[in-house]
Amino acid sequence: MIYLPGSTYHVKSLVPLATLTSFRVGGPAQWYVAPRNLEALQASFEWAKTEGLAVTLLGAGSNLLVSDRGLPGLVIGTRHLRHTEFNSDTGQVTAAAGEPLPRLAWQAAERGWQGLEWAVGIPGSVGGAVVMNAGAHKSCVADMLVNTQVLSPSTTLETVTPQQLGYSYRTSLLQGSDRLVTQAVFQLQPGSDPELVLATTSQHLEQRRTTQPYHLPSCGSVFRNPKPYQAGWLIEQTGLKGYQIGRAQVAQRHANFILNCGGATASDIFQLINYVQQQVEQHWAIRLEPEVRILGQFQ
């Protein structure tokens, strides 16, 4: 355990990452820290730079597949970076990177603010949602993002607009970058009846629960939809529902989900992803692109 310079926060060694990802797989982080404020976050970057360590950013861990070998360098977890501020004058909400997206959606609904009803069933954080342009029900982050604050490895803070992020379907220029989202500002529409917004939010959540498998660990949708097709439809039509490698299985309820049926390894899931890609490409001449971020060594 190492204390960060000028901080009460400490960096831990060999922290298991399986408990920090929704797949519940993955080896340890060489070093791990979970700062609770911007100062500690900046100190974490500084420490990694001083030690010559690569930095990996970990939000809610809901869209990640981490290698069984773990990750070298420093893993910075943002799950404790939480705060929200609703501005009634502008109709804008500012949320820290670690805020769970579903919680933010409920908070907005309880105030009668429209715009985030679609986000209630997405088990990620604000930071991850901004990076990957999360979306559902024909809405996405790019539709309502005003700006986002990002921290560079040099610990410089910068406010970035959606136009500067190069948004497209489920991706942005921040994906794969070493810049960390610290907070985001969203434009919502206040003034509605809270009961109506809560009802719509509940309907969205119920729809996801009835069409997607939430009873076993997964990362949500594994592949991007290759428009005009749905990835799940292509996988289902290829006959892969229920196909299993080790303890990893293509879900019966929704074929674009891969489930950890208990005791799966990251390697099981990785092999199943590759197998699905190969089979769909063989049948449809379409190469499915993973939506899940794959981190670490798998070969």
**Catalytic residue set:** 170, 221, 291
Map residue 143 onto helix, strand or coil. helix
**Is 59:97 a contact under the CB 8 Å cutoff?**
yes
Q: How much of the chain is helix, strand and coil, in % rounded to 5?
A: 30, 25, 45
> What backbone phi and psi angles, to 5 degrees, belong to 222?
-85, -40
How distant, in Å, are the alpha carbons of 141, 270, 299 from that of 266?
A: 29, 6, 12
How many CB atoms are closer than 10 A to CB 291?
20
Q: Classify residue 173 as exposed, middle or buried by CB count within 10 Å of its CB (0-12, 13-18, 19+).
A: middle
CB half-sphere exposure, 1, CA atoms < 13 A: 5
